[in-house]
Amino acid sequence: MRQICAAALLALTFATPARADLLIEGRAAQALHCAAMLFIVSTELYDLGEISRNSRDTAQRAALVILDQVPGTDDQRRRAMVQRFERIMTSRTPSQLAKEYTDTARWCRSTFLP
C-alpha cells in the first residue's frame, strides 16, 4: 500500500495545480525537507540505474515514514510535499542536490527514522 501511495505522491507532483503555500515551520519543516530529498534522490538514482527498484522502494517508504511526522491531514502533507518538490527541483542543479543530500542524509536518518 505504501508503494502505491509513494507512486501516487510522485505523480501528483506534476498534476497538482498551484495553490497558496502552506506554512510549515521548525522540526516539521525539517522532516518535510528530509522526506522530499530522500524521495527525489531515490527516484533520480533509480532512473539513472544507480540503485535497484527495491532500494528505491525502501527509500521511498522511509520518506513516507518521515512525512508522517509532519502535522496535518494527508491532503495537507501531500500538498506540502508537492510544494517542497517544486522548490527543490527549481532551486538546485543536480550536483547541488547530490551535495545537499550527501551532507544531510545521515542527520535526517538519525533524527526522523527509528
Residue 107, pLDDT score: 97
> What residues in the chain have per-residue pLDDT under 70?
1-22
The model's pLDDT over 67-78, given as tens digits with 9 standing for 90+, comes to 999 999 999 999
Residue 25, pLDDT score: 87
pTM recorded for the entire structure: 0.79
Q: How far apart are CA 18 and CA 94, in angstroms?
A: 24
CB 86 within 8 A of CB 19: no
